[in-house]
């Protein structure tokens, strides 16, 4: 028997183990760049911003990394990346019912979208928290009220100054009139003065 016809069991066993490892790795989710195609609340359909050879990664609908306390106004075209989770995230995101388990998941079904910064964004004060909304910015508690540090003192002073000004204006009219005072209980955020 020539040496070319011999079967090397150790080499074949090693190749088999490597092939099995490659198959297992291919089933795992990957962190990939992505952009939002469509968004409903804090659940987004994303497309992958990566070039693939011979196959196309389909868009997936996944939760956005956020919380009920800070909900950002994500828009189609916003860029970021997806990151896999070891179990299905759909149950805690409210997409499906039941409880997550550790059964193997398809590699595109356990992803979460994370936004990422961009060099092309306009620069802002690096020492300030900047909140930007598409239509508006809302700061509220669950009763739709707000309380900011020192806001109450500033608001009370503003109301007192406005009421003094109303008294002066009312007294200076051709027919002196007492204008109704502004109530100090008006919520400055709701009133949008």
Nearest to 115 by CA among 168, 79, 71, 69: 79
Looking at the structure, tell me whether residues 56 and 130 fall in a common domain.
Answer: yes
Tell me, yes or no, whether 158 lies in a domain: yes
Decide if 143 is inside a domain: no
In a domain, 123, yes or no: yes
Q: Would you say residue 156 has pLDDT above 80?
A: no
3-state secondary structure of 84: strand
Q: Is residue 122 part of a domain?
A: yes
CA distances to 47, 158, 166, 177, 191 from 163, rounded to whole Å, are 56, 9, 5, 13, 16
Provide the β-strand partners of residue 80.
Answer: 34, 115
| Burial track 145-181 (b if 16+ CB lie within 10 A, e otherwise) | eeeeeeeeeebeeebeeebeebeeeeeeeeeeeeeee
The verdict on 103 and 163 lying in the same domain is no
The answer on pLDDT for 188 being more than 70 is no
| Token pair recorded at residue 69 | 């306390």
128 lies in some domain: yes
Q: Report pLDDT for 191.
A: 43
- Residue 19 pLDDT level (bands cut at 50, 70, 90): confident
- Domain interval for residue 126: 29-137
Q: Are residues 173 and 83 in the same domain?
A: no
- Hey, what's the torsion of the CAs at 75, 81, 86, 87, to 10 degrees? 20
For residue 39, being part of any structural domain is answered with yes
Q: pLDDT by residue (tens digit) across 73-82?
A: 999 999 999 9
- The C-alpha atoms of residue 140 and residue 187 are separated, in whole angstroms, by 11
Of 73, 69, 74, 101, which Cα lies nearest the Cα of 85? 101
Residues 79 and 163 in one domain: no
Q: Is 142 helix (H, G, I), strand (E, B) or coil?
A: coil
**Residue 105: Cβ within 10 Å count:** 21
DSSP for 14-74 reads HHHHHHHHHHHHHHS---EEEEEEEEETTEEEEEE-S--SS--PPPEEEEBS-BTTB----
| Rounded mean pLDDT, 25-53 | 88
Averaged pLDDT score across all residues of the chain: 79
């Amino acid at each position: 028997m020539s040496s070319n016809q011999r079967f090397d069991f150790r080499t074949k066993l090693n190749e088999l183990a490597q092939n099995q490892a490659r198959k297992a790795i291919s089933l795992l989710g990957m962190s990939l760049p992505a952009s939002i195609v469509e968004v409903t609340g804090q659940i987004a359909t994303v497309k992958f911003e990566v070039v693939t050879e011979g196959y196309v990664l389909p868009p997936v609908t996944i939760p956005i990394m956020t919380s009920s306390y800070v909900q950002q106004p994500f828009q189609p075209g916003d860029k970021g990346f997806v990151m896999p989770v070891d179990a299905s995230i759909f149950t805690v995101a409210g997409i499906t019912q039941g409880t997550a388990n550790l059964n193997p998941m398809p590699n595109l079904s356990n992803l979460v979208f994370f936004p990422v910064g961009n060099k092309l964004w306009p620069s802002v004060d690096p020492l300030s928290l900047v909140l930007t909304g598409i239509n508006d910015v809302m700061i509220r508690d669950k009763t739709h009220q707000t309380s900011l540090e020192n806001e109450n003192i500033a608001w009370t002073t503003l109301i007192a100054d406005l009421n003094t000004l109303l008294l002066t204006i009312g007294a200076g009219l051709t027919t002196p009139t007492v204008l109704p005072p502004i109530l100090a209980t008006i919520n400055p955020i709701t009133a949008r003065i």
